[in-house]
């Protein structure tokens, strides 16, 4: 990263450098280009805007980045590169769209799937010797389990085994899997990197040139290239990632501590709490605990629904990572029915922490006894 701090990198890189150039790379809204030129079609060569975004993320991660039209486009590109008959190791409760992709491929005979407890480091170390892909989501959605990434990445592997990490909740500011020995770092740029709930994008970052070329060719064939406007919005959002994460994390720590002592809350899952089952893992290698948490209210699932609907600041909405606070009763999301019925997933935003807290306590008090 040229010895720059991450916050400085995000603000200063991925910009035009010539005299008279604009400070920001503009959104290049083009599908094709005049020839002869190194760029001839945006699905293949991309645009200057896409390249600037890839420079930003790649510099933070310590590798070469490919930008995609969504996080799931990035995941599918990686998974579909596996040879028929491969073995994938997944968390027991992966992101529901990843679970659907893995289950569908298994039903079609493309690969077999091993489902592991994310906190069972020994199981992941063992799987590294047998699997072709270790897909690690950490911190996990929505139970906030933090895997022991250093141990998993250092495990002896089957030849050709790829360790891929979805670090969307952490962002590259808090967790850099490639530095720990992973092969692929994936982000749903839609979330914290974009940061304003106004785009869809994804990324894969790798160090190995052969793997990069393979993923690049597959992105071209599958048509998962990011659009010009989405790349522009991703860059604009990424510029303030450091500022947003600093505020949101401070809010999250305060709110998690208060929720843990609230009589209407049964359990709080936030890696920054010493009571969290994998707090030690998070403290070992992460540079912060993030802005995501989940908690269970006392009572019924119906009460949890009333809580998330009874706010004026926090938005009852799915997805996450925006500057605004959002929460939802996660068990109502298709594919997440196995989650505890009283679980509320909470993406903490950048509003004043006392206003967020007042919104939470009002919702809890208004539904008490329900």
Write out pLDDT tens, residues 240-292.
999 999 999 999 999 999 999 999 999 999 999 999 999 999 999 999 999 99
Token pair 């770092």 is found at 185
Question: Cβ-count burial of 22 within 10 angstroms (0-12 exposed, 13-18 middle, 19+ buried)?
Answer: exposed
Cα–Cα dist 4/197, whole Å? 28
**pLDDT band, residue 370 (cuts 50/70/90):** low
> Which comes out higher in pLDDT, residue 338 or 264?
264
> Mean pLDDT of all residues in the chain?
96
Cα–Cα dist 287/291, whole Å? 13
| pLDDT at 1 > cutoff 70 | no
Q: Where are the domains of the chain?
A: 6-238, 242-366
What pLDDT is stored for residue 21 in this prediction? 94
Write out pLDDT tens, residues 158-198.
999 999 999 999 999 999 999 999 999 999 999 999 999 99
Q: 3-state DSSP call for residue 166? A: strand
**pLDDT band, residue 130 (cuts 50/70/90):** very high
Q: Using DSSP bridges, classify how beta strands 326-329 and 64-68 pair: parallel, antiparallel or unpaired.
A: unpaired
Write out pLDDT tens, residues 11-59.
999 999 999 999 999 999 999 999 988 888 899 999 999 999 999 999 9
| pLDDT at 300 > cutoff 80 | yes
DSSP annotation of 140 = -
Structure tokens at 283: 């403290």
Among candidates 36, 73, 68, 67, which has minimal Cα distance to 54?
67
Among candidates 116, 83, 121, 115, which has minimal Cα distance to 102?
115
* In contact, 178 and 61? CB cutoff 8 Å: yes
Where would I find the beta strands (DSSP E) of 278-330?
292-297, 315-316, 326-329
Cα–Cα dist 118/90, whole Å? 8
Mean pLDDT within 92-120: 97
State what percent of residues in the chain have pLDDT above 70.
99
The DSSP line for 150-161 is: HHHHHS---TT-
Structure tokens at 8: 């400085």
Q: Give start and end residues of each alpha helix (H) in 239-286.
A: 241-260, 279-285
Q: 3-state DSSP call for residue 132? A: coil
Cα–Cα dist 231/15, whole Å? 13
* In contact, 20 and 205? CB cutoff 8 Å: no
Q: How many helices (H) and strands (E) does the chain have?
A: 15, 12
Element (H, E) at 111: strand 111-116
Among candidates 287, 292, 358, which has minimal Cα distance to 325?
292
* In contact, 133 and 369? CB cutoff 8 Å: no
Structure tokens at 15: 């910009």
| Domain 6-238 indexed as CATH 3.40.640.10 | yes
**213-250 as b/e: b if 16+ CB within 10 A:** eebbebbeeeebbbbbebbbbbbbbbbbbbebbebbbe
Structure tokens at 289: 């605990």
What pLDDT is stored for residue 326 in this prediction? 98
Q: Is the dihedral of CA 141, 163, 177, 69 positive or negative?
A: negative
Cα–Cα dist 279/96, whole Å? 24
What pLDDT is stored for residue 365 in this prediction? 96
- Topology adopted by domain 242-366: 3.90.1150
């Amino acid at each position: 990263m040229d010895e720059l701090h991450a916050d400085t990198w995000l603000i200063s890189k991925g910009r035009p450098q010539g005299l008279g150039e604009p400070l920001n790379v503009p959104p290049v809204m083009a599908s094709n280009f005049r020839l002869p030129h190194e760029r001839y079609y945006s699905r293949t060569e991309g645009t200057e805007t896409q390249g600037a975004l890839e420079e930003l993320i790649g510099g933070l991660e310590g590798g070469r980045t490919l930008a995609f039209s969504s996080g799931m486009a990035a995941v599918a590109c990686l998974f579909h590169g596996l040879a028929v008959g491969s073995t994938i190791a997944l968390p027991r409760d992966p992101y529901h769209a990843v679970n659907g992709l893995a289950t569908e491929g298994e039903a079609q005979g493309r690969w077999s799937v091993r489902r592991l407890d994310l906190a069972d480091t020994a199981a992941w170390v063992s799987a590294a010797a047998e699997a072709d892909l270790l897909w690690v989501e950490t911190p996990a959605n929505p139970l906030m389990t933090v895997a022991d990434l250093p141990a998993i990445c250092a495990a002896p592997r089957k030849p050709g085994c790829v360790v891929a990490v979805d670090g969307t909740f952490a962002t590259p500011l808090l967790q850099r899997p490639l530095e720990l020995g992973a092969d692929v770092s994936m982000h749903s740029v839609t979330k914290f990197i974009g940061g304003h709930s106004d785009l869809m994008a994804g990324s894969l970052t790798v160090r190995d040139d052969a793997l990069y070329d393979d993923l690049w060719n597959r992105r071209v064939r599958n048509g998962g290239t990011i659009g010009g406007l989405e790349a522009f919005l991703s860059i604009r959002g990424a510029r303030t990632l450091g500022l947003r994460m600093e505020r949101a994390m401070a809010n999250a720590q305060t709110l998690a501590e208060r929720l843990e002592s609230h009589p209407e809350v049964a359990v709080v899952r936030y890696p920054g709490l010493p009571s969290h089952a994998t707090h030690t893992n998070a403290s070992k290698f992460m540079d912060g605990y993030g802005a995501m948490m989940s908690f269970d209210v006392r009572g019924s699932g119906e009460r949890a629904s009333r809580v998330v609907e009874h706010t004026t600041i926090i938005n009852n909405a799915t997805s996450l990572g925006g500057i605004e606070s959002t929460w939802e009763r996660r068990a109502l999301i298709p594919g997440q029915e196995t989650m505890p019925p009283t679980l509320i997933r909470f993406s903490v935003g950048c509003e004043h922490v006392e206003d967020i807290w007042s919104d939470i306590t009002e919702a809890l008090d208004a539904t008490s006894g329900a």
